[in-house]
Structure 1
Amino acid sequence: MVTLPSSPAPEPHRHRRVAESFGVDPARYDRTRATYSDAVIERVVAAAPGPGLLDVGCGTGIEARQFRAAGRTVLGVEPDRRMADFARSTGLDVEVATFEAWDPAGRTFDAVVSGTAWHWVDPVAGAAKAARVLRPGGVLAPFGHVYELPPAVGEALATTYRRVAPGSPLFAVGQSEVSVLDAYRGLYAKAADGIREAGGFAEPELWRHDWQRAYTRDELLDLVPTSGGLTMLPPGQLAEVLDAVGAAVDELGGSVTLRYATWGLTAVRTGTPSR
């Protein structure tokens, strides 16, 4: 998950150390990160003209396994070898590379998907690469989760993080008067701009799916360390952040319900990219 500070607009794909830090504990990542709703998976499957999917930044394979269960054939591309190895252990076919540098070796696909990972890809170069590997009528469909912590919990996390890691490149605790659920739209608006600049696609369709999930104190403390930036903290500093988050959850009765939004877009390949 990446959440956004109010200003300036970040460019996550330029922060490669953060982008490739999630593999520090792939089992935790796979265990705690939420799967995608049936509605999201069905929406992408319905948009694709065939069963062949390329999953960009597939991570541990969370959405890839969901697409596989829906009868799709999935090839993953993942820059972090630790994440790729975990995905392979679940039976997925994964190649290790950034999408921009990945060699398709003449292969083409019916859909290019990306689950909470497209913001780590250059929005123009990524869209141009997708257009080159998609079959005519194929669809580019990145999508991603974001969750909103209760105000008291979010403040405890932000305050402690800023104290233990001042100046660190964190997208997870920026404060804004705008709900992070709404602010996350900016990542997909930027992706849509990249698609338009690259060319080769019809006008992107932006969409959102809202839902929620309850967490016990222990479940939340298992999830929080998988957020961008927190993955890079030394154990002692991370423990301080988690202590503060746990205390805030205790004040709320020992459990919380997080509001989630899944933002995404779909764009149909209509021609060759201009870049």
Structure 2
Amino acid sequence: MDVFGGVADLYEHARPDYPPEIAEAVLAYHGGRPASVVDIGAGTGKGTDVLVSIGAPLTCVEPDELMAARLAERFPDARVEVTTFELWAPPAGGADVLACATAWHWLDPATRNAHARRALAPGGTLAVFAHRYGYADADQQAAVRSALRAVAPEMRDRPVDWFHRDIVESGQFDDVRREVFRRELRLDKARYLALVRTFGPYLSRTPEQQQRGIAALDRLVDDFGGSVVLDLRTTLVLGRADAR
């Protein structure tokens, strides 16, 4: 996850916010205000912005020191722990709510569900949410994917709401539910290209691939009339840790 530290400021400004309804859904599912909330892979705090409105003591776990520094500045009342989820030590008795915003795929797939279950208090709530960036216009979506695969042929999208299936199939949580929030988001070329520059697949490419990819998207957005309309799908998955 440390690929993001060098673009912390861009990440904070370019990534869209999460729907505030997520906090309401977590509170309703949990059955009231929790005693504690832990935000895993908190980044610069895009998900933390929603979680802080729950009104419970908040701990943020973030392995990138630059991202963690931004977190500490933005949320002075939160406890910020600079470590990975795998090395993080949960509080005694477990967390009431364990949340993860668009970072579930960065956690070890062999252990993330079991570790999350162990980190929760009995009856505690898991809340995993993430954006999926589609396009309102199917032709735009096809053109963008074609352009990017010309640069990186091995690139593939994860299935829609893949983490819902991951959590269900782990068998670690009871009463797993999924809620989906959708909105259209129009971005001009500068904002769209800034957003792309914050994506992990972009940051993990060679400088030459990055340059070619951005150049191809720059031309495409001009062909689209200077803007892109995203179909922004935000999925929230909730699960409960039983008392076993």
Amino acid at match of 2:24: E
What is the CA distance between 1:56 and its match in structure 2?
0.9
Q: Residue 135 in 1 paired to residue 121 in 2?
A: yes
What is the CA distance between 1:93 and its match in structure 2?
2.5
Q: Residue 30 in 1 paired to residue 12 in 2?
A: yes
Q: Residue 252 in 1 paired to residue 189 in 2?
A: no
Amino acid at match of 1:265: V
Match 2:92 to one of 99, 106, 127: 106
Once residues 73 and 207 of structure 2 are traced to their aligned partners in structure 1, the CA distance between those partners, rounded to angstroms, is 27
Residue 262 of structure 1 is matched in structure 2 by 234
Q: Is the 2:93–2:121 Cα contact (8 Å) retained in structure 1?
A: no
Once residues 29 and 39 of structure 1 are traced to their aligned partners in structure 2, the CA distance between those partners, rounded to angstroms, is 22
Residue 237 of structure 1 is matched in structure 2 by 209
Once residues 133 and 142 of structure 1 are traced to their aligned partners in structure 2, the CA distance between those partners, rounded to angstroms, is 14
Match 1:187 to one of 163, 167, 173: 163
Q: CA RMSD in A?
A: 2.3
Once residues 80 and 116 of structure 2 are traced to their aligned partners in structure 1, the CA distance between those partners, rounded to angstroms, is 17
Residue 44 of structure 1 is matched in structure 2 by 26
TM-score normalised by L of structure 2: 0.86
Provide Cα deviations, 1:108-143, integer angstroms capped at 9, x if missing partner.
321001111112223562222222232222101111
Amino acid at match of 1:122: D
Once residues 181 and 234 of structure 2 are traced to their aligned partners in structure 1, the CA distance between those partners, rounded to angstroms, is 5
Q: Is the 1:84–1:94 Cα contact (8 Å) retained in structure 2?
A: yes
Once residues 113 and 221 of structure 2 are traced to their aligned partners in structure 1, the CA distance between those partners, rounded to angstroms, is 41
Structure-2 change in CA distance of 1:130 and 1:187 (3 Å): closer
Structure-2 change in CA distance of 1:236 and 1:154 (3 Å): farther
Q: Is the 1:36–1:63 Cα contact (8 Å) retained in structure 2?
A: yes
What is the CA distance between 1:191 and its match in structure 2?
2.2
Once residues 52 and 58 of structure 2 are traced to their aligned partners in structure 1, the CA distance between those partners, rounded to angstroms, is 7
SS in 1 for 2:200: coil
- What is the 5 A alignment of 1:80-229? 80-91=64-75, 92-106=78-92, 108-123=94-109, 125-149=111-135, 150-165=137-152, 167=154, 170-171=155-156, 174=157, 183-194=159-170, 196=171, 199=172, 201-229=173-201
TM-score normalised by L of structure 1: 0.77
* Unaligned 5+ runs, structure 1: 1-18, 175-179
What is the CA distance between 1:20 and its match in structure 2?
3.5
SS in 2 for 1:203: strand
Once residues 124 and 66 of structure 2 are traced to their aligned partners in structure 1, the CA distance between those partners, rounded to angstroms, is 30
What is the CA distance between 1:258 and its match in structure 2?
0.5
Once residues 60 and 232 of structure 2 are traced to their aligned partners in structure 1, the CA distance between those partners, rounded to angstroms, is 25
Q: Is the 1:203–1:267 Cα contact (8 Å) retained in structure 2?
A: yes
SS in 2 for 1:226: coil
Amino acid at match of 1:81: E
